């Protein structure tokens, strides 16, 4: 399945206050979004540079790079969204040099007012959850390391904050991309949407609690991570082959 999203258009909609999702990425604390955006830009620059340097070895980074483009497109900054989608379009065309060059411009994006679209699929959106060595952002492992029976039972607030600030926008995007099974009837589509919204809600809570830094409640962080993890598993049990 492929989808195209007018990121710039959606960013403008957010600015205009047209977006009334209950737990959307736009509701995340500004400070958390700022920190996550800085981390995402650095990672996207590194991924695109690595792809240019050794394309054969680093092609596995392409889905994760596309996901970072999507995440940056949700942060409520139209110029950043436009610049990010330029990176996405170049990745789609397999012009990796152009992608890396456009990624360099992310720190001071020039608003061109052009709505760029690019193609991505659910596999791209799920890429950040994979292990770092598989081109992901290690999100699933970070969650499991904290909450599984053999896990540490704790997580750094800043790590939790960054996970939430990434999974919240991904949840909103997943919500718009029901897979074939979720499209078989409206009840199935509603289930898909519910799991996505559960994921968005837990992600937002995680970002908020993690954003408290030293004052974050360690128990609440773990309880919220478990809620987030349940939203993933519930959807996988129902919809993933």
- Chain residues that interact with ligand HEC, rule: CB under 6 A: 122-123, 126, 129-130, 139-140, 167, 174, 179, 192, 195-196, 199, 228, 231-232, 235-236, 239-240
Identify which of residues 58 and 86 has a Cβ nearer to ligand HEC in the complex.
58
Could you give the CA distance from residue 207 to residue 122 in angstroms, rounded to a whole number? 23
| Interacting residues of 45 by C-beta distance below 8 A, sequence separation 6+ | 100, 103, 104, 106
Identify which of residues 25 and 232 has a Cβ nearer to ligand HEC in the complex.
232
- Report whether 207 contacts 165 (CB < 8 A): yes
Could you give the CA distance from residue 149 to residue 146 in angstroms, rounded to a whole number? 9
Please, what is the minimum distance in Å from the beta carbon of residue 201 to ligand HEC? Answer: 11
Please, what is the minimum distance in Å from the beta carbon of residue 240 to ligand HEC? Answer: 4
Could you give the CA distance from residue 28 to residue 169 in angstroms, rounded to a whole number? 9
- Report whether 124 contacts 183 (CB < 8 A): no
Identify which of residues 116 and 228 has a Cβ nearer to ligand HEC in the complex.
228
Could you give the CA distance from residue 88 to residue 6 in angstroms, rounded to a whole number? 12
Identify which of residues 45 and 231 has a Cβ nearer to ligand HEC in the complex.
231
Cα 129-157-64 angle, rounded to 5 deg? 20
Residue 112: how many other CB atoms lie within 10 Å: 13
Please, what is the minimum distance in Å from the beta carbon of residue 50 to ligand HEC? Answer: 19
Please, what is the minimum distance in Å from the beta carbon of residue 154 to ligand HEC? Answer: 19
Please, what is the minimum distance in Å from the beta carbon of residue 46 to ligand HEC? Answer: 20
Identify which of residues 106 and 147 has a Cβ nearer to ligand HEC in the complex.
147
User: Longest Cα pair distance anywhere in the chain, in angstroms?
Assistant: 50
Please, what is the minimum distance in Å from the beta carbon of residue 167 to ligand HEC? Answer: 5
Identify which of residues 154 and 239 has a Cβ nearer to ligand HEC in the complex.
239
């Amino acid at each position: 399945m492929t989808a195209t999203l007018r990121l710039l258009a959606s960013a403008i909609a957010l600015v205009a206050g047209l977006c009334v999702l209950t737990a959307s990425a736009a509701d995340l604390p500004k400070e958390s979004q700022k920190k996550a955006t800085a981390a995402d830009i650095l990672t996207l620059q590194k991924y695109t540079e690595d792809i240019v340097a050794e394309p054969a070895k680093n092609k596995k980074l392409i889905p994760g790079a596309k996901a970072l483009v999507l995440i940056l497109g949700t942060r409520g900054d139209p110029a950043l969204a436009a610049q990010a989608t330029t990176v996405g379009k170049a990745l789609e065309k397999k012009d990796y040099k152009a992608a890396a060059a456009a990624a360099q411009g992310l720190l001071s994006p020039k608003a061109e007012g052009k709505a760029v679209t690019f193609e991505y699929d659910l596999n791209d959106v799920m890429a950040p959850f994979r292990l770092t060595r598989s081109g992901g952002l290690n999100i699933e492992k970070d969650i499991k390391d904290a909450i599984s029976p053999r896990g540490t039972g704790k997580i750094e607030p800043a790590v939790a904050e960054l996970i939430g600030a990434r999974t919240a926008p991904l949840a909103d995007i997943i919500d718009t991309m029901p897979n074939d099974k979720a499209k078989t009837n409206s009840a199935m589509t509603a289930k898909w949407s519910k799991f996505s919204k559960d994921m968005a809600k837990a992600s937002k809570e995680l970002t908020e609690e993690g954003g408290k830094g030293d004052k974050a409640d360690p128990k609440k962080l773990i309880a919220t991570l478990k809620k987030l993890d349940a939203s993933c598993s519930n959807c996988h049990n129902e919809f993933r082959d």
